[in-house]
């Protein structure tokens, strides 16, 4: 039976996006084109799903604010659970990224014979932490035989990853609560000084309201943007450090289409405007 249909969610190769809201991330394109090893397929699928889930999570926050008047009460609790989920998903992406790194590392033969390649740890935290503290690049090279650019990559991600892990662990393991969230006229609001939002420092002066209240969505957008930036940082680092096979589909890129791409694109563009490190979306 013939039906009129179009793809709502998926990936495709093209020289340009079929729709203006279709997105292309360097690390997804690099993995699909040049590092799609069988051992990495589980991590690759997990990373793709998590990106779709993050776009859905941001859409739920926006939808709940738009329809808040239809709820008699309880929207703050609903948003708090979404914030918890979003932070947990961003943290889990680092561990999926580490699974991917391990799969790639196992295929690598180092040209620098002064480095002795050793097995990597299976989680991001076990790589960056050594004897209860953050590792230096020199220690990472000594412990795992990592080339200097890849060791420096891990060090660049330490502060942000640990902030994600602390928030997630405090909620899940230590009984902490998501900071109070207030329903404002244009967005949900949080206290600028509450953790983990205080460390982000992303708000513009004209966004700050009385009682040191600030909009929630810019903070969530920056958390997602920094997570994607860490993934892109990895792919550009290894691309410049390790020789990979040529692209499977030359002169094309991998594009992502999702149900919530329009809002996702808007939130990430806004986060890019607030951050020194940008995430290319096309």
Q: Nearest Cα to 25, choosing from 4, 48, 2?
A: 48
Tokens 């002066």 found at = 205
Q: What share of the chain is helix, strand, coil (3-state, %, to 5)?
A: 55, 10, 35
Determine the length of the chain. Answer: 282
SS3 for 255? strand
* Closest listed residue to residue 129, CA positions, set 116, 143, 114: 143
Q: Which of 55-69, 144-158, 193-207, 216-230 has the lowest mean pLDDT?
A: 193-207
How confident is residue 224, by pLDDT bands cut at 50, 70 and 90?
very high
pLDDT in tens, 84-106: 899 999 999 999 999 999 999 99
* pLDDT attached to residue 174: 42
CB atoms < 10 A from the CB of 62, how many? 17
The domain locations on the chain are: 14-177+221-274
Q: How far is CA 14 from CA 28, 51, 251, 253, 258, in A?
A: 14, 20, 8, 6, 16
């Amino acid at each position: 039976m013939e039906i009129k249909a179009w793809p709502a969610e998926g990936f495709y190769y093209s020289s340009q996006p079929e729709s203006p809201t279709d997105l292309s991330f360097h690390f997804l394109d690099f993995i699909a084109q040049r590092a799609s090893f069988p051992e990495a397929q589980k991590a690759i699928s997990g990373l793709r799903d998590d990106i779709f889930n993050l776009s859905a999570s941001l859409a739920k926050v926006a939808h709940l604010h738009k329809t808040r008047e239809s709820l008699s009460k309880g929207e703050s609790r609903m948003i708090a659970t979404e914030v918890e989920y979003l932070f947990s998903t961003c943290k889990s992406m680092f561990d999926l990224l580490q699974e991917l790194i391990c799969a790639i590392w196992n295929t690598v033969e180092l040209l620098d014979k002064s480095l002795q390649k050793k097995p990597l740890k299976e989680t991001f935290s076990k790589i960056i932490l050594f004897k209860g503290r953050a590792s230096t690049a020199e220690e990472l090279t000594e412990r795992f035989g990592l080339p200097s650019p890849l060791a420096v990559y891990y060090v660049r991600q330490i502060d942000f990853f640990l902030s994600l892990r602390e928030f997630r662990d405090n909620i899940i393991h230590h009984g902490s609560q998501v900071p109070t969230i207030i329903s404002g006229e244009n967005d949900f609001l949080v206290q600028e000084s509450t953790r983990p939002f205080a460390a982000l420092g992303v708000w513009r002066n004209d966004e700050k309201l009385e009682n040191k209240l600030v909009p929630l969505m810019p903070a969530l957008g920056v958390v997602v943007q920094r997570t994607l930036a860490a993934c892109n940082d990895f792919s550009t680092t290894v691309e410049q450090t390790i020789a990979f096979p040529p692209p499977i589909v030359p002169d094309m890129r991998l594009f992502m289409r999702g149900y919530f791409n329009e809002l996702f694109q808007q939130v990430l563009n806004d986060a890019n405007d607030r951050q020194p490190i940008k995430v290319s979306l096309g």
